[in-house]
Chains A and B, each alone.
Chain A
Amino acid sequence: MSRRSDLARYLASRLALAPVMLWLIASLVFLLLRVAPGDPIDALLGTRAPEAARAALRAQLGLDRPLAEQYGRFLGHLLQGDLGQSLTNGEPVTRLIQDSLPASLELGLVSLLLAAILGLAVGFSGIARPEGRLDLAGRLYGIGTYALPPFWAAMVVQLVFAVWLGWLPVGGRFPATLMPPQGTGFYLLDSLRAGDWQQLAGSLRHLVLPAATLGLLLSGIFTNALRLNLRRALGSDYVEAARSRGLSERRVVLHHALPNALLPVLTITGITVASLIGGALLIEVTYSWPGIAFRLQEAIAQRDYPLVQGIVVVVAALVVLVSVLVDLVVALLDPRIRF
């Protein structure tokens, strides 16, 4: 009974905190964009632009109004899901984000899956002899994949597999000679639904290198998490008890220690999402993958303030939501967690 109500209370507080965090992030981005040195007008038009043009743009952006009013307006629009218009092409920021989000999600999900498989496999391979050669190699693997600069790893992979061997395309998301599949924006899903094998092959060929690179970079997190938790589980009393009952080591590891070690890995997955986004930002740019990070880089290069602001708010919202969601799932799955 008490556990149930405790859980409900925890979930409620966690959920209640999420909007507060989102509001904080949105306000922070808003404030930074306005308080930071450097006038956006200067950035857009240059310091020598005629005063009339500067005033016009200032009015168009609403920058001529008092800060409090701008802030109220920004929050009001945000609540209605309106993130303003792009400065470069006048399109609504929400539409631009919607257009590029599926590409990022597709790359992110496939990479996460690859990272989990690869990382857990490496972490698990050392299990037979903890702190044996394989296990220590797993530790080095974790550090090594972390230390790789994402964009450099991507460039090396590109150079070897696309430029030298010519097996796969250097960049982009889809062959220029084909019509991209229509529908959800997830090309793999769309081409599968349409039953178009040519489209599917085209999307896959473009997806392989970016997803494999990002997957490799993130896999170390899973390796570390599994090794750490497995070690902890293997040192615990219930494993000792299982051993003393004469169970085989294999059974102890697979049936007693592993299930308990896998749950914290889920928490790690939640944390990974944040670094996934950092890594994806650089991977997308390196592979010209037309996702949200690629768009962010374009927006930065063009000094498109509303678009930068919109993308940051949306991505931050995603990160907060995923972290809350993972907490909830872990709380529901793990009866030991008390709050």
Chain B
Amino acid sequence: MVTSRLGARSLSARMARWGIAIVAFYGLIALFTPLLVHGSLLPDPNAGLENPIYAPPSFGHWCGTDRLGRDVCVRTLAGSSVALQVVLSALVLALVIGVPLGMVSGYLGGGVDRVLVLVMDTLYTLPVLLLSVVLAFLLGRGLPNAAAALCVVYVPQYFRVVRNQSAQVKAELFIEAARSLGAGPAWILRRYLFRNVITSVPVLLTLNAADAVLVLGGLGFLGLGLPETIPEWGSDLQQALTALPTGIWWTALFPGLAMFVLVLGLSFLGEGLEHWLSGAPAGSDG
């Protein structure tokens, strides 16, 4: 069993490297696609009326065109910037709400804590997609709306982790010492609890980002989330579904592949981070 740990370590390290590379690649695409479109080096993802519709991949259009003659490659590239924007803003929002709420709830304890835990546990029990579908349905389509719908889904996750950890940390001696020296709750929360608790967030954030990309795609696929004018992988796939029985594969292949690889990259990064941060002790997942 001694030799074998090397295998897991190196796989984790390799996964983390691949994860970073993939995510950075998508970040660059997200950054440069709008610029290239703006500078007319790439066609507009929504323009296509002069193109043939449902043209298979060719030199003119590497990934073919869709039912409106729009270039599938450009739409797929533009989709990455949209996905990253929505997912990032949703998770930042979830962090900003979930972490302080969890810290206060865990530190203060008592009745408020119990009620908050019950509410968050209930939200957490609900299937992520179901909850976000309901929220997206209610909030309507739009970038901030989709981000808000996603955010609510992930708040309970940060709340749970941070709350449990601060409930644990608050019993530690150094907190006791700070309190006896006259530090108030706000000071303790900011100064001592926050630093101890925040370490568990990066892994969760990366893994949630992977999940959120899938959920956003799911929403788009169900006709929710973003407005139709914004190129998004999920809604493009929904449109590809109707053409699928006639054997038109290119509109389905590229957006889905882009989504798959991004989720894979984020998952690799998250898992690699987890092993790296935990020092991969014996008995952990290899």
Residues of chain A whose beta carbon lies under 8 Å from any beta carbon of chain B: 17, 20-21, 24-25, 28-29, 32-33, 36-38, 129-132, 135-136, 139, 143-144, 146-152, 155-156, 158-159, 162-164, 170, 224, 227-228, 231-232, 234-235, 274-275, 277-279, 281-282, 285-286, 296-297, 300-301, 308, 312, 315-316, 319-320, 323
Contacts and interface: CB of A to CB of B under 8 A. Distances in A.
Nearest to A143: B267
Contact of B140 (A33, A38, A129, A235): A38
A155 B255 CA distance: 12
Nearest to B262: A147
A155 B244 contact: yes
Contact of B130 (A131, A147, A278): A278
B271 interface: yes
B256 A149 contact: yes
A117 B4 CA distance: 26
A315 B127 contact: yes
Contact of B244 (A158, A227, A296, A300): A158
Main DSSP-derived SS at the B contact region: helix
Contacts of A323: 125
Contacts of B86: none
B218 A33 contact: no
Contact of A316 (B125, B129, B283): B125
B1 interface: yes
Given A148-B260, A231-B285, A301-B223, A25 B126 contact: yes
A156 B256 contact: yes
Contact of A139 (B11, B129, B130): B11
B7 interface: yes
A281 B129 contact: yes
A91 B53 CA distance: 41
Contacts of A275: 127-128
Nearest to A21: B122
Contact of A282 (B11, B121, B123, B129): B129
Contacts of A158: 244
A29 B264 CA distance: 33
B55 interface: no
B286 A24 contact: no
A232 B123 CA distance: 30
B260 A152 contact: yes
B285 A139 contact: yes
A135 B8 CA distance: 9
A310 to B, nearest CB: 12
Given A148-B260, A231-B283, A278 B128 contact: yes
B286 A296 contact: no
